[in-house]
A and B are shown apart, each in its own frame.
Chain A
Amino acid sequence: MRPNDRKYADSHEWAKQEGDLVLIGITDFAVEQLGELVFLDLPAVGRKLAKGESFGEVESVKAVSDLYAPLGGEVVAVNAPLADELDPLQNDPFAGGWLLKIRPTDASAELGALHDAESYEKQVAAAH
């Protein structure tokens, strides 16, 4: 069962509230679908994102996928070491493989609109 302490988007990103910031990453399902990861393109700190806006790309040997902001806000930190070593994303997407930290513009409304773990499970099961 996927972590219960966060919310999930249809496009397979997760968002976890941490104080007044939100931690964002992609799920194990996304990583598994992509296969062997080879490249990650993350935004610059300071960039302002709208909910649903593409903030970067993750690339595997066979595909490229856009990454979509599950909620809007300003990028305050990115997981820069992933640029050189993708292992944490490949094997630990919910913790060591986090992608961004943002200061959200409207956390309660936008987080509320995302799936909880159980609803996301159903989503993934249906997709299979």
Chain B
Amino acid sequence: MPYVQNTDADRRAMLAEIGVRAMDDLFEPIPAALRLREPLPLDPGMTETDLIAHLGRIGSWNRPAGGRPCFLGGGVYDHDWPSLVDHLQGRSEFLTAYTPYQPECSQGTLQWIFEFQSMIAEICGMDNANASMYDGASACAEAALLALAATGRKKVVVSAGLHPHSMAVIRTYLEHQGSAIVEAPLRDGVTDWGDLVDAGTAAVLVQQPNFLGLVEDLDAPAAAAHAVEALAVASIYPVAMGLLRSPGAAGFDVVVGDGQSLGVPMGLGGPSFGFFASRDKFVRRLPGRLVGASVDRRGRRAYTLTFQTREQHIRREKATSNICTNNALIALRGCLHMAALGPQGLEEVACLSRQRALEMTAQLTAGDAIQEAFPGQPWFNEVPLRLSGGEIAVLKLKTALAKAGIAGVLPMSRFYPGDPAMKGVFTLACTERTTPESIRQLASVAADTFRMEMAL
């Protein structure tokens, strides 16, 4: 359907058809005191040429992290993607279609979603996955809601290693539901579940790797949850599954996460897409859309939305979730990326990312100023490091790097305020895009910054 504006003639014809004198008459029900009397105070319009130049000037104030060596992590990573992802995502059938889910005319869309679900389920080690969520944070929150509904219990035990933004979203979702969130603290950088999981627990929630970049033990929380018939839920960094054991393989029930690392630009920290996967037994409790494969009248393979009785348009207030849309176009990028890479490609990306992180850590910890923050704890591609000079040193390093045109240093004290174990701790991440040259540059700036310190 083309987007073409109505002409004045069109408008006159429509008004005549419905017997209305003028457009303004349609706004009669709105009290006169509330109606706008003057045009909005907007700047006058510009020509297209001037506007593009104007916006370009404003845009040039940005310092895109992706255009320079980037060692930032914290849930958004500087990964690469094949150009075919941009090319296919840009096709107008995908780019401009709005809610193309009718099986009679959207088989292409339904097929890619089915393939997306299949690949996500495989990466997570689960039986099913849905058609995607807004983002990883809301996916975590929905997983908590699923567990609360499935068990009828009122408490979720969440690792303090979960991304703080995900934790904040879980709190928002659960705030008025009469449920409690109990935080399992970090000890030596990884989750200490203690005695927190009990018969009143609906789910345990752990992030893999955690926000510090450390690899969590998945067996302990899974066992603790299942011992009390609670659900084991994991939020994962999908690229890490190229090297790490999936939560599915560890017996987890629900796996969620954010797909930014699968072919999605870092953007403004978004938009991205979330994913949600589970065991078969929870398929009727999944939020969001689900595409299934079936056959048409002639026995040909056909795709369709299925299990729609979970959703609001049928179950109303008893729906599994009030989610009503998703970031489908971004999820399409994820699908194209996963298909282009395949399991082998994902493993290669994971290996390269980790290798670079190993090189970076070796070079940075060669001197005295920087050490691994939790020595002995394994990490994947994101490393928690500690500066003996504390928070001031962290800020110094961040500033020095920025001056050198390098994006990096995520101070952990910002996310764990007042925690003595996080004093002077920051994270750096590497990906397959990280070059040996940029690592040398990073190490060199760090060395210079603290050589001068020590000289004082």
- Residue positions of A touching B, CB distance < 8 A: 38-39, 59-64
Is B314 within 8 A of A63, CB to CB?
Answer: yes
State the CA gap A61–B314 with chains docked (Å). Answer: 10
Tell me the residues in window 300-348 of chain B with beta carbons closer than 8 Å to chain A beta carbons. Answer: 309, 314-315, 318
If over half of A's interface residues share one DSSP class (helix, strand or loop), that class is named, otherwise mixed; here it is strand
Is A62 within 8 A of B284, CB to CB?
Answer: no
Which residues of chain A are near B309, meaning CB under 8 Å? 38-39, 59-64
Which residues of chain A are near B318, meaning CB under 8 Å? 64
Which residues of chain B are near A61, meaning CB under 8 Å? 309
A-B contact pairs, 14 of them (CB 8 A): A38-B309, A39-B284, A39-B309, A59-B309, A60-B309, A61-B309, A62-B309, A62-B314, A63-B309, A63-B314, A64-B309, A64-B314, A64-B315, A64-B318
Tell me the residues in window 325-383 of chain B with beta carbons closer than 8 Å to chain A beta carbons. Answer: none
Interface residues of B, CB < 8 Å — how many? 5
Task: Tell me how far the C-beta of A52 lies from the nearest C-beta in chain B, rounded to whole angstroms.
Answer: 17
Which residues of chain A are near B315, meaning CB under 8 Å? 64
Which residues of chain A are near B314, meaning CB under 8 Å? 62-64
Which residues of chain B are near A60, meaning CB under 8 Å? 309
Tell me the residues in window 188-244 of chain B with beta carbons closer than 8 Å to chain A beta carbons. Answer: none
State the CA gap A30–B309 with chains docked (Å). Answer: 17
Task: Tell me how far the C-beta of B316 lies from the nearest C-beta in chain A, rounded to whole angstroms.
Answer: 9
Task: Tell me how far the C-beta of B24 lies from the nearest C-beta in chain A, rounded to whole angstroms.
Answer: 42
State the CA gap A62–B314 with chains docked (Å). Answer: 7
Max count, chain B CB within 10 A of own CB: residue among A39, A63, A64: A64
State the CA gap A59–B309 with chains docked (Å). Answer: 7
Tell me the residues in window 264-286 of chain B with beta carbons closer than 8 Å to chain A beta carbons. Answer: 284
State the CA gap A48–B221 with chains docked (Å). Answer: 34
Max count, chain A CB within 10 A of own CB: residue among B284, B309, B314, B318: B309
Which residues of chain B are near A64, meaning CB under 8 Å? 309, 314-315, 318
Task: Tell me how far the C-beta of B312 lies from the nearest C-beta in chain A, rounded to whole angstroms.
Answer: 12
State the CA gap A64–B317 with chains docked (Å). Answer: 12
State the CA gap A63–B311 with chains docked (Å). Answer: 10
State the CA gap A111–B340 with chains docked (Å). Answer: 65
Pick the 6 closest A-B CB pairs, nearest first: A64-B309, A59-B309, A64-B315, A64-B314, A63-B314, A39-B284
Which residues of chain B are near A63, meaning CB under 8 Å? 309, 314
Task: Tell me how far the C-beta of A75 lies from the nearest C-beta in chain B, rounded to whole angstroms.
Answer: 16
Task: Tell me how far the C-beta of A22 lies from the nearest C-beta in chain B, rounded to whole angstroms.
Answer: 26
State the CA gap A7–B403 with chains docked (Å). Answer: 83
Beta-carbon nearest neighbor of B284 in chain A: A39
State the CA gap A62–B284 with chains docked (Å). Answer: 14
Q: A38-B309, A39-B309, A63-B309 are in contact. List 8 more A-B contacts (CB 8 A).
A: A59-B309, A60-B309, A61-B309, A62-B314, A63-B314, A64-B309, A64-B314, A64-B315
Which residues of chain A are near B284, meaning CB under 8 Å? 39
